[in-house]
Amino acid sequence: MMEIPHLDHFGRILVIAPHPDDEVLGCGGTIARLRDHGHDVHVAIVTTGKPPQFPTSLVTQIRNELDAAHEVLGGTTKHYLDLPAAALDTIGAAQINDSVAEVIDRVEPTTVFTPFFGDLHVDHQLVFNATLVACRPRSAATPRIVLAYETLSETNWAAPPITPGFQPNVFVDISDSLERKLGAFSKFASQLKLFPDERSLDTIRALAQLRGSTVFRPAAEAYMLLRTII
């Protein structure tokens, strides 16, 4: 059995998720693997559902699901930015940029994971832009690694070549943490669907196996490297 190396160079981690569950879909196996090796993992949930579009009872349910999911992954430090879900395009870019920059300044991460710019959901696109603005290399505290993750039912619904295509060049082996990723997503009862819906456990497993076989591993999560400072 091939030994899986530690990810020490990732340092302190900040995963930026436009909505609860994006971090599990995109990085759940990586988060679990990092936590197994004692890494400090922070997750920033950028948006919160606001009435009347999102009833308070549903928002509470999803937040409880998020807590349960993160316990399965090994525990994280969560930051809620409370911007309006599915409505980031109704507020100024400066407000989004400032909110994302504030959490990055507070956490001082070595590595930042952000959604992919080509995702269909506008919230994802705006969070990507805000992350790059906040991660501009203008001080010694700038994150050294910035990676974009893929989100089932968002990244693959784009229309390349009209929109940017997700072309991963970093693969994290999650062979030993795939079941934890699946267990974490299963806590999102409000989001979980039956196959062949993309937000099913079968599809999440299939994507992990596909990404893994790309690099001769049983399972992997794929990323696009946006910047690394060595």
Span 60-106, pLDDT tens digits: 999 999 999 999 999 999 999 999 999 999 999 999 999 999 999 99
Mean pLDDT along residues 5-18: 93
Q: Provide the mean pLDDT of the chain.
A: 96
Q: How far apart are CA 32 and CA 30, in angstroms?
A: 5
CA distances (Å), origin 141, targets 27, 102, 129, 150: 23, 13, 19, 26
Whether the per-residue pLDDT at 25 is higher than 60: the answer is yes
Residue written as tokens 């603005």?
Answer: 133
User: Distance between CA 100 and CA 136 in Å, rounded?
Assistant: 12
- 4 pLDDT tier (thresholds 50, 70, 90): low
Q: Give the whole-angstrom CA distance, residue 14 versus residue 222.
A: 17
The b-or-e profile of 103-114 (16+ CB within 10 A means b, else e) is bbeebebbbbbb
How far is the C-alpha of 8 from the C-alpha of 18, rounded, in Å?
26
- Is residue 28 within 8 Å of 180, Cβ to Cβ? yes
- According to CATH, the topology of domain 8-228 is Rossmann fold (3.40.50)
- For residue 208, what pLDDT band results from cuts at 50, 70 and 90? very high
β-pairing, 220-228 with 13-17?
Answer: unpaired
pLDDT for the residue 1:
46
pLDDT above 70 covers what percent of the chain? 98
Provide the residue ranges of all domains of the chain, joining segments of one domain with +: 8-228
Residues 129-149 have pLDDT tens digits of 999 999 999 999 999 999 999
CA atoms within 13 A on the CB side of 192: 16
